[in-house]
Amino acid sequence: MTSTRVPGGTFTMAEDLTVTRMGYGAMQLAGPHVFGPPADPDAAVSVLREVVRLGINHIDTADFYGPVVVNELIREALHPYPDDLRIVTKVGSLRDAEGNWLPALAPEQLRQAVHDNLDHLGLDALDIVNLRVGGFDRPTPGPISAPFTVLAQLQQERLIKHLGLSTVNAEQIAEAQSIAPIVCVQNFYNIANRDDDDLVDSLAAQGIAYVPYFPLGGFSPLQSEELSAVATRLGTTPMAVALAWLLQRSPNILLIPGTSSVTHLRQNVSAAALNLPEDALTELNRIAS
């Protein structure tokens, strides 16, 4: 793949890990509520193949999406994988028979989750594994050294190449870094939810990627008069403006918007080429204040 085709450029997380800043989040390829198979598996495969065709080399997934369904779709669509494709997964949660999200941070659960991701993706080693702790959209204070140490051990066993964290605060990041290096943090953040502003800047200074989940609001899409006004003035959509704002917010921000539509995927990629003028940035920055 030629990643230079993708608007937004690239970010180097590590010597062997350069990704397009515009990535793809595969969560929406599962069925309703991220549970069960999609209504149209062939369409899901087409989206994944279009991701690669567009030059995106950063796919975010988890074996608990479905569960299993999304990882198996990725394997069906893209295996054997392009040499520069980087698949990022996460562990620390599981689904019960009713589709509830349950914490799964015990050592044996984390080890099993890593092996499940390897098996279902068809890989010998995972590019990045994020340890997901915390709640739905915000960190839960408390130590994380025990589960993170398990992943660090799996990295020493060469089942994981790089480590990351999800839904964590600054203290938990520092705690993890005392055990092993991290290359990314994946937290809830978007133009209207900016609690992590200081954290974004701190990670940028360290060369660590910040990957906002729910960049478009998640299950409750962003609603803002300022966002709509700027989009109308620029002749584009509010969602395109929200994605472009994130890319201009800091060079270490990587995007993983999800979609099950090829058309929507192309629109997201086009949004990365949108350059927001200073007056628009000033207006947009008032949304969260």
Reply yes or no on whether 65 is catalytic.
Answer: yes
Ramachandran bin of 158, using left for φ above 0, alpha for ψ from -120 to 50, beta for the remaining angles: left
List, in order, residues 6 or more apart from 56 with CB less than 8 Å away: 1, 3, 6, 20, 22, 23, 24, 269
Contact 243, 255 (CB under 8 A): yes
Provide the token pair at 165.
């964290």
Using an 8 Å Cβ cutoff, are 252 and 198 in contact?
A: no
| Both tokens assigned to 140 | 């839960």
Where does residue 68 fall: left (phi above 0), alpha (psi -120 to 50 degrees), or beta otherwise? left
CA 162 – CA 220 distance, rounded (Å): 32
DSSP 222-260: ---HHHHHHHHHHTS-HHHHHHHHHHHH-TTB-B--B-S
**Rounded to an integer, what distance in angstroms lies between the CA atom of residue 250 and that of residue 233?**
23
Q: Which of 46, 5, 51 is nearest to 25 (CA)?
A: 51
Catalytic residue among 65, 189, 210, 213: 65
Find the distance separating the first CA and the last CA of the chain, reported in whole Å.
41
Write out the catalytic residue numbers: 65
